[in-house]
Every structure is written in C-alpha cells, then in structure tokens.
C-alpha cells in the first residue's frame, strides 16, 4: 500500500510504508537527454540563454515537479568557470538571484518551501558542465528541513574550533562532528539569519564564505571536487518558525584523489552511514589550504 498525495501535475508523491521515505514518481523525466546533442544550452546563444547575461534563471525544461516549480540558475556565462572563480562580486550576483527567486516562488500560495541546490560534476549526475544550480519550490516542507526546524539543534556559535574551516564576517564554515560525507561542510551565520531574503542576511559575507570553501574543496585533491550543495532556509508557508536558519550544506564526493565515496548497501539497508574521513581531520586539511584571498 502506498499513499498518493498532491504534488502538482505530473508529480505523484508516494510514501513507502516500510521505509517511510517519500518518493515522487516522475516518469516524464525518463525522456530527458543525458547530454544535449547540439552544444551547451547555457552558453550565450544557446537554447536556454539566447541573450547575453551575467546570471540567469528560467523554468527547468525537464521538471521533476509540475506547476513551474523547478528552475535552473546560471551562475555565469563562462562555460569553464567555477563558483569560486567568480570571486565575491560574481558570487554575490548568484546569491542575489537565489534570494530573488526565493522571494518570488515563496510568495506563491501553493509553495511552502523553496530549496536552492546544486549538483556539481558528472559523478553526482550533473548532465551539463556549465556552472549552474537549481531550485525546487515544494508544496510542502520536505522532511529533512522540517526535522532541522523542529529540533532547532543548529548552533554555529557552539562549534568546536577543531571543526572550523573558515570564517567570513558572521558566517562560519565547519565540518559537522557527525559528518556523513567526507569533507562535508556546513555554513551558517552566528547571527540569526532565517532566509536569504531577510534584511539580516549578509549576502556579501555569504558569497565570500562560499567562494572560500569551494576553492578549498577544489584544492584538496588538486582536481574539481564533485559535490552536492543545498540551502535550508525558512519555510514560506506563513508559519513563524523561530528556529529557521540559512544553512548551506556541501556534501563532497571524493574521499581521496580520484576515489569517490559511495553510499552503498549496508548504509542504505541499515540506515547508518560510515564516513571514511574523520571530520576533525577533514576540517584541519581544509583549514590549512590557502583558500582564496577574499
């Protein structure tokens, strides 16, 4: 028995009664191409970027959710650029666009949660190399951010120095003591910043710490670090959510040069992760890299 729930046209959210895991069935996405056949669609003049731009967002042509809930965010017109290569000024434009799309999508009565995220590198399924991220606008608060909101356990100011990677203004980057991923980094502000839109959000500081941390990750093994990045923030359901914080999580994929870390059978079957890199060691290694001067 499964439970079908509302998820927008084309979306069919079910909850497996054995695992409790919600899954959206998106058969329509099976038709999407793994790689575009005729050049990069995100370069200027390409399918999704006909006009010159610095940053740009548009609806995802292959949405996982209906009702124009899925968007793509282009970070730069430069195909071979990195996020950290944008510098603080360029990264600030990306943060501004994330905030603007959060505001616009979050204002919709049928959107309760805006999730900003990025998959970087073919190892984590990014089909196009051009620097870009995505946004999903959910009609509900997904379970992972919901748990963080209810528990209110995130306290950047209480992070032990052994786990700190970098500081920029009030923004702190650290490796969680119980990190499930090698070189996992969490970023949040020591002042209470509930979402990207809020006036209390120091966007220059956030841009600076993102540039710094992502540069360190690429330096760790002298190769581009494949990663998954997501941003938790306050739900847009109209609730109070006093514990809501902007929290960026970066789950890096390599545990050694050229060696990906896989979440495999015992971990999925048992629900307990095994991280081969000690979080304190990961923090020390990242902290001791030069990063970039910002």
Q: Which of 79, 130, 132, 232 is catalytic?
A: 132
- Decide whether 79 or 108 has the Cβ nearer to Zn ion: 79
- Decide whether 62 or 221 has the Cβ nearer to Zn ion: 62
Contact characters 126-165, Zn ion, x per CB under 5 A: ----x-----------------------------------
Beta-carbon contacts of residue 111 (< 8 Å; ≥ 6 apart): 69, 105, 137, 138, 139, 236
Distance, in Å, from the CA atom of 143 to the CA atom of 149, rounded to the nearest integer, reads 10
- Please give the residues from 221 up to 240 whose contact with Zn ion meets the rule CB under 5 A: none
Span interacting with Zn ion, options 3-11, 42-50, 93-101, 180-188, rule CB under 5 A: 42-50
Beta-strand pair 164-168/132-138: unpaired
* Closest residue by beta carbon to Zn ion: 40
Distance, in Å, from the CA atom of 253 to the CA atom of 261, rounded to the nearest integer, reads 6
Span interacting with Zn ion, options 55-63, 74-82, 169-177, 271-279, rule CB under 5 A: 74-82
**Angle in degrees, 0-180, between the axes of helices 279-287 and 203-220, rounded to the nearest 10:** 100
Binding Zn ion (rule: CB under 5 A), the pick from 14, 66, 79, 204 is 79
Is position 79 annotated as part of the catalytic site? Answer: no
- Decide whether 132 or 186 has the Cβ nearer to Zn ion: 132
> Which among 101, 98, 115, 140 has a CA at the least distance from the CA of 237?
140
Residues that bind Zn ion (rule: CB under 5 A) add up to a total of 5
Span interacting with Zn ion, options 105-113, 123-131, 224-232, 248-256, rule CB under 5 A: 123-131
Distance, in Å, from the CA atom of 219 to the CA atom of 214, rounded to the nearest integer, reads 9
- Decide whether 40 or 273 has the Cβ nearer to Zn ion: 40
- Decide whether 42 or 98 has the Cβ nearer to Zn ion: 42
The phi and psi torsions of 35 (rounded to 5 degrees) equal -140, 135
Overall size of the chain counted in residues: 294
Residue ranges in 110-174 assigned as alpha helix (H): 143-151
Binding Zn ion (rule: CB under 5 A), the pick from 42, 138, 163, 227 is 42
Span interacting with Zn ion, options 14-22, 81-89, 125-133, 213-221, rule CB under 5 A: 125-133
Hey, what are 229's tokens? 């990045």
Q: Are 140 and 239 in contact (CB under 8 A)?
A: no
Provide, rounded to whole angstroms, the least separation between the CB of residue 250 and Zn ion: 23
Hey, what are 220's tokens? 């760790």
The phi and psi torsions of 164 (rounded to 5 degrees) equal -75, 135
Distance, in Å, from the CA atom of 190 to the CA atom of 173, rounded to the nearest integer, reads 10
- Decide whether 60 or 275 has the Cβ nearer to Zn ion: 60
Distance, in Å, from the CA atom of 188 to the CA atom of 194, rounded to the nearest integer, reads 10
Residue 43 as a binder of Zn ion (CB under 5 A): the answer is yes
Active site members: 132
Residues that bind Zn ion (CB under 5 A): 40, 42-43, 79, 130
């Amino acid at each position: 028995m499964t439970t079908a729930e509302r998820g927008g046209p084309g979306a069919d959210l079910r909850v497996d009664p054995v695992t409790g895991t919600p899954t959206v069935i998106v058969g329509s996405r099976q038709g999407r191409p793994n790689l575009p056949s005729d050049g990069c669609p995100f370069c200027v003049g390409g399918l999704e970027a006909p006009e010159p731009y610095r940053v740009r967002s548009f609806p995802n042509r292959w949405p996982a959710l209906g009702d124009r809930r899925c968007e793509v965010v282009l970070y730069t017109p430069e195909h071979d650029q990195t996020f950290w290569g944008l510098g603080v000024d360029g990264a600030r434009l990306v943060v501004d666009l994330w905030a603007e799309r959060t505001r616009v999508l979050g204002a919709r009565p049928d959107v309760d949660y805006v999730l900003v995220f990025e998959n970087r590198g073919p190892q984590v399924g990014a089909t196009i190399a051009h620097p870009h991220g995505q946004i999903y606008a959910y009609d509900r608060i997904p379970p992972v951010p919901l748990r963080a909101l209810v528990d209110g356990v995130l306290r950047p100011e209480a992070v032990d120095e052994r786990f700190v990677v970098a500081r920029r203004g009030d923004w702190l980057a650290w490796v969680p003591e119980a990190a499930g991923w090698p070189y996992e980094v969490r970023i949040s502000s020591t002042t209470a910043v509930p979402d990207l839109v809020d006036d209390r959000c120091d966007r220059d500081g956030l841009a600076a710490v993102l540039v710094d941390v992502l540069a360190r990750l690429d330096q760790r093994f002298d190769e581009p670090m494949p990663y998954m990045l997501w941003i938790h923030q306050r739900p847009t359901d109209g609730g109070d959510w006093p514990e809501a914080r902007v929290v960026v999580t970066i789950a890096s994929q390599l545990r050694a040069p050229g060696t990906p870390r896989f979440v495999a059978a015992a971990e999925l079957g048992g629900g307990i992760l095994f991280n081969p890199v000690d979080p304190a060691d990961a923090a020390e290694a990242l902290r001791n890299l030069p990063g970039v001067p910002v």
